[in-house]
Amino acid sequence: DQFEIAPGIRGLVMMVFHLPSYGVVFKIIKDEFAESKKITREHVIDRYKLVKMSDRVGRMADTHEYVNFRFPLSRVCPALLEELQDTCASSVELTDDELIIKHLYIEKKLTPLNLYLQQETDPDKLHNAIDDLGTCIKQIAMANIFPGDMLHKNFGITKHGRVIFYDYDEICWMDERNFRSIPKSDDPYALDTLSVAPNDVFPEQFEHFIVGKRPFKEMLKSLHGDLMTPEYWRDAQKEVSQGTIHNFTPYPGSRRFRRPEHSGQ
């Protein structure tokens, strides 16, 4: 098989490709970002280093960073080569028989959560995926990291149904954000005049963009409605600042071995 563009929604910051028969993806920082991304290449590299050096609590994909990574040119499909030259030209070098990527990250391949929610038909598996999405966000916050861009396309799901976050360009420490309530007003234009600082976050808006379809929105809200309140995030900030450490297991409680009960003699 050939290297090709990875399935899923194209990233605004990273260009991602894979070899279908191989269990990893290759991620390259694009030369230019979408206008909505007010960040630099150096910032993206710094965010990936932050994750690498942090406790990922089993909820953030580990990355391996490489320079001058070589691929056999004959194994690169034309569409991928064109995309690389269009979006990542400064990171790409071609020889007669090789494609050289000057800087890239390699991650374990996961099914993008947005594709999983589109394709899965089992109601129980869909429920578990949405529930684990909320749990994933909460556990990352307890590890002192605010995920930033929490669109469901930025999460993947393992073959065991575990949700993992893998989009790092907007992450930051929890104390770098100010979690605010949306002011209550009868004026429909009140939000247009609301003063917002760069580090302000309004959790009440999360329900509108974490997942798209209404049934999933309602499910997430019923399972993890506290995520949509500033109080939850402020409490999380407080716990982090106090050094509270939570014990997270990489499996659901239902799969935990039970200790045998011994009757007293």
Q: Are residues 92 and 162 in the same domain?
A: no
CATH code assigned at 131: 1.10.510
264: in domain: no
Q: Are residues 172 and 204 in the same domain?
A: yes
Q: Are residues 226 and 134 in the same domain?
A: yes
The active-site residue, picked from 55, 62, 226, 235, is: 62
Query: Residue 182's pLDDT is what?
Result: 84
Strand residue runs (E) in the chain: 4-5, 14-18, 24-29, 63-72, 92-94, 98-108, 111-112, 145-146, 155-157, 163-165, 172-173, 178-179, 200-201
Residue 259's pLDDT band, with cuts at 50, 70 and 90, is: confident
Examine the fold and report which residue of 77, 93, 108 is the final residue of a domain before the chain moves on.
108
Q: State mean pLDDT over 13-18.
A: 96
42: in domain: yes
Residue 24's pLDDT band, with cuts at 50, 70 and 90, is: very high
Q: What is the C-alpha to C-alpha distance for residues 143 and 196, in angstroms, rounded to an integer? A: 26
Average model confidence (pLDDT) across the chain: 91
pLDDT digits (tens, 9 = 90+) for 166-178: 999 999 999 999 9
Q: Are residues 238 and 199 in the same domain?
A: yes
pLDDT digits (tens, 9 = 90+) for 201-254: 999 999 888 988 889 999 999 999 999 999 999 999 999 999 887 777 777 777
Q: What is the C-alpha to C-alpha distance for residues 252 and 255, in angstroms, rounded to an integer? A: 6
Element (H, E) at 215: helix 214-224
Q: Are residues 201 and 244 in the same domain?
A: yes
The sign one gets for the Cα dihedral 201, 203, 204, 208 is: positive
Residue 62 is among the residues annotated as catalytic for this protein: yes
Residue 195's pLDDT band, with cuts at 50, 70 and 90, is: confident
Q: Are residues 129 and 242 in the same domain?
A: yes
Its domain, for residue 175, covers: 111-253
